[in-house]
Amino acid sequence: MHGCPSDEIEKIGKYLIEERKLHTTIKLNPTLLGAERLRYILNNKLGYKVTVPDEAFEHDLKYEDALTMINSLQKCAKENNVEFGLKLTNTLESLNSTNWLPKKENMVYTSGRALHPISINLAEKLQSDFKGELDISFSAGVDAFNVSDTLACNLKPITVCSDLLKPGGYLRLTQYFNEMNKNFKQLDVKSIDEFIKKVANKNDVNKAGLTNLRKYAVAVLEQKQYHKSAFPYENIKTKRELTAYDCIHAPCIEACAVDQDVPEYMYHTANGDFEKAFKVILQDNPLPNITGNVCDHLCQTKCTKMNYDNSLLIRGIKRFNSEMFEGKLDLVIKENNGIKVSVLGAGPSGLSCAYFLALEGYEVEVYESKSFAGGMASDSIPHFRITDKQLKDDIDIIESLGVKFHFSHHVNKDLFTKIHENSDYIYIGIGAQKGKNLNIDGEDFENVFDQLTFLSKVRRNETVDLGKKVAIIGGGNSAVDAARTSNRLVGKDGNVAVVYRRTISEMPADP
């Protein structure tokens, strides 16, 4: 209907009906919903920062004109004993406000998941005005997860395009039918019309469809998969050069700091072989419990499932496998090669070094100034994120390889000289255990802590009197750890505020 007056559209429709005797379908755009309602859903309800200018509504069909045109064409179709229908599309003009397209292009087309709720609400508005009697086909963000809900609204046939351009292509349609079949079996129905009526518990398919559509139009606005993500520029591309004749290399592996073979252990997990999955994890990663709980999981920022809906919870699945495994590891340790290595620091770096060297047959001793292993993971990450048992489980794996630990050994000049004399090699992994200062007046006052000092005191069960009002300056993960910890300490009548210089969507902390 773009740019075409309603009287001209009506003439075209009548010609098709009267002269060509076709089943005629008129396409309608989301702007028909009206500027106020459309902008409310897109910007306020769903949270998209997309600007749909007035001109996008000015040259498109107006709702009142659409009602007149549809009534006229329905009448004409009935007189000629042919069918007339509407098709709702998700094409919506908006301002080009990103850096992805040439600046000379003032207007672009917005599409995708954001417009599914908008088009559903347009369908509800039209069907309500026509008492559910309209024949509406639908093309707006349909996928395997909403296909049954869409069909239950008596919106059919449905057409799909952009979803099939994602990884999987036409094979994705199998998932559509699997989801539909599952819902059909639950209600013991064998046709779409039966399904529509059974969902609404009504005998008339049009009335049933309208009932379902009214419910779905409200519910779809609350479904989080259609809301704007807090991180708008996520994609699975990595910095690795993509050549003309390239082999597949999973971007989750590329993003991982230790090149963890994520697809391999995900495969074994999906097949229920948790022992195999855990052993695959240990091939690259000696700290499955620590990384399964507190890793920054960059793998999830490059998970190809983002092309479908959301990333897989890779870190959580690693934690799951770590918790499920209770057997004997039977790690293959090479014969002792007679080479002695001393590791300074029992944090993740030192522990990893000790693990892999021990597997290769080296004699390894670890020196740690604290009374426990794990580094910052054990000293500053709160108990509610990782427990003492989970930390111990990882340390036990490394000890089982014959690695010796010396705790409460601060390595000064004399001890270093002794270690140097008794070692073939020394690995230094002492960490970076200093909080970041703001370099402003007052930060050395009493009751002002950097986050690492504060979190360490709490983790070690030292008394920390915060009073009842706490301010956290910063927006990263450690700031959020400090805020969550403070919230537990001040009690129900206390107050904890996070002070951050930018907006919540720009906070680097995990959502």
- In tens, the pLDDT along 242-270 reads 776 655 778 999 999 999 999 999 999 99
Could you report the per-residue pLDDT of 341-364, keeping only the tens digit for each? Answer: 999 999 999 999 999 999 999 999
- pLDDT for the residue 247: 59
Could you report the per-residue pLDDT of 70-87, keeping only the tens digit for each? Answer: 998 888 888 888 888 898
- pLDDT for the residue 166: 78
pLDDT classification of 306: cutoffs 50, 70, 90: confident
| Crossing angle of the two packed helices 192-200 and 205-219, in degrees rounded to 10 | 70
- pLDDT for the residue 313: 95
| Helix boundaries (H) for 42-191 | 54-58, 63-79, 115-129, 147-152, 172-187
Half-sphere exposure of 104 (CA within 13 A, CB side): 0
Residue 205 CA, distance from chain mean position: 37
Query: What's the mean pLDDT in 157-161?
Result: 89
What is the DSSP secondary-structure string of 402-449? Answer: T-EEE-S----HHHHHHHHHT-SEEEE------PPP---TTTTSTT--
Could you report the per-residue pLDDT of 196-206, keeping only the tens digit for each? Answer: 999 999 999 99
Query: What's the mean pLDDT in 134-143?
Result: 91
Residue showing tokens 């996520």: 234
Structural domains of the chain ordered from first start: 6-226 (no CATH), 251-324 (1.10.1060.10), 340-428 (3.50.50.60), 451-506 (no CATH)
258 Cβ contact partners less than 8 Å away, ≥ 6 residues apart: 284, 285, 352
pLDDT classification of 1: cutoffs 50, 70, 90: very low
This prediction's pTM: 0.69
- pLDDT for the residue 282: 96
Res 183 pLDDT > 90: yes
Residue 344 CA, distance from chain mean position: 38
Query: What is each CA distance from 400 to 331, 355, 396, 429, 470, in whole angstroms?
Result: 9, 10, 6, 21, 43
Per-residue tokens: 75: 């009448």
Residue 424 · residue 340 · CB < 8 Å: yes
- pLDDT for the residue 289: 96
Q: Which helix (H) or strand (E) holds 48?
A: none
- The Cα 160–Cα 169 span in angstroms is 11
Mean pLDDT, the chain, whole residue set: 89
Long-range contacts of 325-328 (CB under 8 A, 24+ apart): 325/274, 325/275, 325/278, 327/275
pLDDT classification of 92: cutoffs 50, 70, 90: confident
Which region among 2-11, 297-306, 468-477 has the lowest average model confidence (pLDDT)?
2-11
Question: Of 105, 110, 213, which is closest to residue 162 (Cα–Cα)?
Answer: 110
Could you report the per-residue pLDDT of 363-386, keeping only the tens digit for each? Answer: 999 999 999 999 999 999 999 999
